[in-house]
Structure 1
């Protein structure tokens, strides 16, 4: 068995070959960032609602001799992941800043981003980037009370890279006008984290009825909108404060923008150049 490959990558490779019971186990492992795999096979089977032979068969399908071999790989993977953010904070710890809110927040954010990457399906990420770069698609973006800023941040980048991008007004009373313009060539990008908003869920439902494709950015627990979304990205949002953090969501946005721009390198460069020329020629933008 090649231990250089991560267990989560092996799971992705074999996903189509797994039975429904085996997928219950992999879902539990991925939802718990592989930590669930460190417990006994009996407890893992109980938590996943499967039999212990199912877990043994899964281990062998992934290329391991048995569950102990799989568990050793998971243990190495978890240990390596734990070392990574801690190493980055070593300087702050030496300076006796480890109890300061800045250091505690930095540890939490490093943990959030690392776990978000662990759960990310890179093939799905690239598929969404290709979808959003398609000039035949019209894009609509909207966020909730907390994530509205994330939606506008993504919108501001997309409308520079390409045309056909709209940010929906925060007031539900004007959403019907946008729904009228949605077709099977439309993509509605929604941001929704806990304290999930019923209005956003209803909008997603109506957009799907219009033929639109839903791309959802949500938290680790998953918005109810997932049942309407063709694509869903879960990001870790917990922070050492009374507020959830959307830093990991912004990480996904910026990575997505870079991917989209690389797919539209020629056309986006021309568009940005034209925009710069327009800004330079138009007096309304001059001081």
Structure 2
């Protein structure tokens, strides 16, 4: 993938095996409180990592940056992107909007997001998450934020039909300890957290991980702080010509996971669907097509 489309943390990860011992120590320090840990002076960054200033200079060049100022400029750009509020995002898009219809601009942006997201995603990682969600021995917990709650609702609604033991966590943080209390080692917690990241999500993730829960995170290219506790991270491209981030590609991955889980245990899922349809019928939840009396046209 083109390095220009990668985050600094992606670049570090891609080069990590080629780094010296001191450079790996520096990389670990940078990633520990990313991206803030790389925003001090070169001397401060070196001291915080316990390495020399020349080590910092050598490593950033090894990563493909022209020097430390270029390295920091990329970090500042990432930080600005993660903190952008809806007004700032709208103004940025409006200033550069091409003279085409909004439908075309949105389509171009979404297709770019999809290509970039799939280019970064390993199918093996997707398959591992699908296997976790399909494992009936594990209880699945799902939570979303202020905007991403809609995605969490969507995943929960489908998974609770496909398999048993699926719980949606309330958005109220004061209730979270009750959910964590019931979590067992090996259970799965799916978290949706995109910029602007919600502080309580990291607290929930840490508490769940301490109980041995496997955390799956849906986030953006800059990565929520929850990523530090997550075993599996989907970093989805979300830019759109709008004041709001796009959820289209995230929903695409969610729907693909739903199908993968459904297919892996279709015999059980089919039985559950038949039972559910019977319950719908008994409750008269859905309106039936009106039938004409015999002989009428």
TM range (shorter): 0.5 to 0.7
Give, in whole Å, the separation in 2 of the partners of 1:255 and 1:216. Answer: 16
Give, in whole Å, the separation in 2 of the partners of 1:240 and 1:267. Answer: 43
Q: Corresponding residue for 2:18? A: 20
Cα deviation for residue 198 of structure 1 reads 0.8
SS at match of 1:285: coil
**Contact 1:182/1:212 (8 A) holds in 2:** yes
1:269 corresponds to 2:270: yes
Cα deviation for residue 46 of structure 1 reads 8.1
Q: Corresponding residue for 2:250? A: 249
Q: Corresponding residue for 2:128? A: 127
Matches within 5 A, 1:67-86: none
Give, in whole Å, the separation in 2 of the partners of 1:46 and 1:247. Answer: 40
Q: Corresponding residue for 1:3? A: none
State the superposition RMSD in angstroms: 2.9
Give, in whole Å, the separation in 1 of the partners of 2:58 and 2:110. Answer: 32
Mark the runs of 5 or more structure 2 residues left unpaired by the alignment.
Answer: 3-12, 25-56, 65-97, 288-297
Mark the runs of 5 or more structure 1 residues left unpaired by the alignment.
Answer: 1-5, 8-14, 25-44, 53-96
Matches within 5 A, 1:115-264: 115-264=116-265
Structure 1 length-normalised TM: 0.67
Per-residue Cα deviation, 1:73-131 (whole angstroms, up to 9, x for no partner):
xxxxxxxxxxxxxxxxxxxxxxxx97011110010001001111111111011011011
In the superposition, relative to structure 1, how do residues 268 and 49 fare at CA in structure 2: closer, same or farther (>3 Å)? farther
Q: Corresponding residue for 2:102? A: 101
Give, in whole Å, the separation in 2 of the partners of 1:49 and 1:235. Answer: 27
Cα deviation for residue 274 of structure 1 reads 1.3
Q: Corresponding residue for 1:27? A: none
Per-residue Cα deviation, 1:192-224 (whole angstroms, up to 9, x for no partner):
001111101100000111211100000011111
Find 1:49's aligned residue among 61, 64, 68: 61
Cα deviation for residue 51 of structure 1 reads 7.8
Cα deviation for residue 276 of structure 1 reads 0.8
Per-residue Cα deviation, 1:206-263 (whole angstroms, up to 9, x for no partner):
0111211100000011111110000001000011011101111001101111111111
Give, in whole Å, the separation in 2 of the partners of 1:286 and 1:248. Answer: 30
Cα deviation for residue 47 of structure 1 reads 8.9
User: For the pair shown, which has the larger CA radius of gyration, 1 or 2?
Assistant: 2
Cα deviation for residue 266 of structure 1 reads 1.1
In the superposition, relative to structure 1, how do residues 256 and 47 fare at CA in structure 2: closer, same or farther (>3 Å)? farther
Matches within 5 A, 1:27-42: none
In the superposition, relative to structure 1, how do residues 51 and 170 fare at CA in structure 2: closer, same or farther (>3 Å)? closer
**Contact 1:279/1:285 (8 A) holds in 2:** yes
Q: Corresponding residue for 1:285? A: 285
SS at match of 1:141: strand
In the superposition, relative to structure 1, how do residues 110 and 215 fare at CA in structure 2: closer, same or farther (>3 Å)? same
